[in-house]
Chain A
């Protein structure tokens, strides 16, 4: 998705940022760190860093430990940048973000969408968080169910069979059997 967006949007000078949630990394994936990394990608795509951000950095640097931006400051920067420039933010596996963090993150995303025309947000997650996403994004979210199509399965199987490390164990009839039975079974699921 990210690469597709980069290709489609590159000509228009749009910025594309991604984030992948992971159960195993819950501690470090706080809303500020997550949106901070989104901001990092968006700013990285700009020719130069906004002056206000340079100033914030120089001021904080004097504080021991180099205090980072707060969530609301990060949201403000993202609002600023995405109002003058199309900005795609893609976040994967939102359900792997702990519930408390998730509410904060969704509210922050909503604030960004509210303030800027150029922001586009793409989210993936399991079905149980759908209601929550719709509620927190205040009707701004369209939803779409994802299930692999039969063609997806066939393309995927072909690719995997080509990577087979024991090609001797495969013959034509087994391959035919695999290509026939797996897509059928999966599309019935």
Chain B
């Protein structure tokens, strides 16, 4: 198995009380880690590796997607959100 990429914001909280030696970079990664313990990027990398290019690319050409991406405000219905639904295994996760 390939090693998922590990972002620089895990493994913090160790040097928390050393205020004097604080560097800006340390604090930045500690703040990011503090925002949430979850690391969805790891799952993203895994999906990215398994995805087959071009599959589901048709979605990008649909009116629904374009309206959403371009953010046509004022058009009905307002589509600042796009919900793509389908049964298990149709490839929702792996859309291009």
Contact = CB atoms under 8 A, between A and B. Distances in A.
Interface of A: 1-4, 8, 18-20, 22, 28-29, 32-37, 39-41, 43-44, 48-49, 53-54, 57, 60-61, 66, 68-69, 74, 86, 92-93, 109, 113, 117, 119-127, 129-130, 133-134, 137, 139-149, 151-152, 155-156, 159-160
13 contacts: A28-B38, A37-B35, A54-B31, A117-B73, A120-B68, A123-B81, A124-B93, A133-B81, A142-B82, A144-B83, A146-B59, A146-B85, A148-B90
B84 A122 contact: yes
Interface string B49-76: 0001111101110101101110101000
A37 B40 contact: yes
Contact of B85 (A20, A60, A126): A126
A139 B93 contact: no
Contacts, number: 191
A33 B79 contact: no
Interface in B21-35: 27-28, 30-32, 34-35
Contact of A127 (B16, B87, B93): B87
A66 B34 contact: yes
A35 B60 CA distance: 26
B31 A2 contact: no
7 shortest A-B CB distances, which residue pairs?
Answer: A36-B36, A146-B86, A142-B79, A37-B36, A124-B92, A141-B81, A40-B35
A33 B34 CA distance: 10
Interface residues of B, number: 55
Contact of A126 (B79, B86, B91): B86
Nearest to B65: A144
Contacts of A34: 36, 38
A39 B35 contact: yes
A57 B34 contact: yes
Nearest to B42: A20
A125 B90 CA distance: 11
A36 B32 CA distance: 9
B36 A93 contact: no
A43 B31 CA distance: 10
A146 B81 contact: no
A49 to B, nearest CB: 6
Nearest to B51: A3
B3 to A, nearest CB: 19
Given A54-B31, A57-B30, A123 B82 contact: yes
